[in-house]
A = this chain, B = another copy of it.
Amino acid sequence: MSTPKRVTIRDVAGRAGVSVATVSRVLGGEYPVLAATRNKVLRAVRELDFVPNAHARALSAARPGAIAIVVNSVAVPYYALIAQGVEEQAAQEGRLSLICTTGGDTGRELSIVQLLREQRAEAVILVGSVIVDEEYRKRMTEYAHALAAAGSRLVLCGRPPLGEGVPALVVGFDNTGGAHAVTAHLLSAGHRRILYLGLRPGHTTSDSRVAGYRSALAEHGVPADASLEVEAEFDRQSGYDAMNRRLAAGPPDFTAIFAGNDLLASGAIQALGEHGLRVPAEMSIVGYDDVPPAQDLRLTTVHLPHDELGRTAVRLALGRLTTSPMTLGTHIVVRDSVRSLGPR
């Protein structure tokens, strides 16, 4: 508070009795400087506690920009885990990383992308599935071109590619494969009436999980039943509400549930409990994502390499990887939420 005046490179130069160029060279590295001079400069830097201004540096020299990840909310484990992966890889690559949150608001997303353009971010990583409609496609295409024009790369995580000419990199999880596997797991435990909880038409993540669910049913010769596919958002509350509604309508006409993600499963389990249905004794359930709460619930689910997604996004952004779109594999984690009905 007392000293609002900043120490600049000129102050250091003055104190060390050299020119600003020399100070910059000592700090910068490459240029040859006599040891004696270097020491004078370093002493002055220490004595004045000089900290170079990052903005001035960014302005004059072409230095690596920051890597930004944009998510709905860091309080959602799915995003937090991916963000963690981004942070780690960015740190490893010597980049500063920013985590920005939109709260799911398109307007905020737009102003954040604008902000990141102003910051001359090296890469912008957009995470999270969305309703892919024409409006969305148009918006993303705009982002992509605008960012490309500014020399930034756009990476989409868990979203479909935008098409040929659009400069955006893509990486995602194998949702269909995982959903197929976990549904097959229920089927081979003898379940035939399996409820899919989390239908969201147009929503890419959910759509591809439903696809895996249906293909597994088909493969096992179980006829599709639209009444077993119930809509719900991908959060805990929705899972709770949807399951409550279903159970209020009468006793369950299914023996197992495939929840679109673990949060949904968590809410559903609470509703089941309140209706006196224990997992797995009276109802089997599986989830998707394998976020930490799944462990506490002893939930059989599909493990997603969240941090790997984050790391891959950074690698793609920095050009370390060139295959795009890229799909990360998943695997099923068996815990105690499925009861075997025995061979029939």
Central interface residue in A56, A270, A293, by most chain B CB within 10 Å: A293
Contact B77 A73 (CB under 8 A): no
B-contact 0/1 string along A172-205, CB 8 Å cutoff = 0000000000000000000000000000000000
How many angstroms between the C-alpha atoms of A3 and B150 in the bound complex?
9
- The distance from the CB of A268 to the nearest CB of chain B, in whole angstroms, is 11
Of A114-122, A156-164, A216-224, the segment with at least 4 beta carbons within 8 Å of chain B is A114-122
How many angstroms between the C-alpha atoms of A108 and B88 in the bound complex?
12
Q: Is A49 part of the binding interface, using a Cβ–Cβ cutoff of 8 Å? A: yes
Interface residue SS majority, chain A:
helix
Contact A98 B101 (CB under 8 A): no
Known: A74-B80, A293-B293. A120 touches B53 (CB 8 A): yes
Contact B3 A149 (CB under 8 A): yes
- The distance from the CB of A12 to the nearest CB of chain B, in whole angstroms, is 14
Q: Which residues of B contact A53 (CB under 8 A)?
A: 59, 118, 120
Q: Which residues of B contact A296 (CB under 8 A)?
A: 266, 269-270, 293, 296-297
Q: Contacting A118 at CB < 8 Å: which of B54, B118, B292, B297?
A: B54
* Copies of this chain in the oligomer: 2
How many angstroms between the C-alpha atoms of A162 and B221 in the bound complex?
69
Q: Is A33 part of the binding interface, using a Cβ–Cβ cutoff of 8 Å? A: no
How many angstroms between the C-alpha atoms of A151 and B73 in the bound complex?
30
Q: Is A96 part of the binding interface, using a Cβ–Cβ cutoff of 8 Å? A: yes
Q: Contacting A75 at CB < 8 Å: which of B6, B81, B266, B269?
A: B81
Enumerate A95-111 residues with CB–CB distance to B below 8 Å: 96-101, 103, 108
Known: A55-B120, A117-B51, A118-B53. A84 touches B91 (CB 8 A): no
How many angstroms between the C-alpha atoms of A57 and B118 in the bound complex?
9
Q: Which residue of B lies closest to A150 (CB)?
A: B51
Q: Is A87 part of the binding interface, using a Cβ–Cβ cutoff of 8 Å? A: yes
Contact B56 A74 (CB under 8 A): no
Q: Which residue of B lies closest to A48 (CB)?
A: B149
How many angstroms between the C-alpha atoms of A115 and B100 in the bound complex?
18
Contact A150 B54 (CB under 8 A): no
Contact A51 B101 (CB under 8 A): no
How many angstroms between the C-alpha atoms of A162 and B51 in the bound complex?
24
Q: Contacting A146 at CB < 8 Å: which of B49, B96, B151?
A: B49
Contact B87 A83 (CB under 8 A): no
Enumerate A42-70 residues with CB–CB distance to B below 8 Å: 49, 51-59
Q: Is A1 part of the binding interface, using a Cβ–Cβ cutoff of 8 Å? A: yes
B-contact 0/1 string along A3-26, CB 8 Å cutoff = 110110000000000000000000
Other 8 A-B pairs with CB < 8 A, given A6-B151, A74-B74, A88-B101: A49-B149, A52-B118, A55-B55, A55-B120, A73-B84, A75-B77, A236-B295, A269-B296
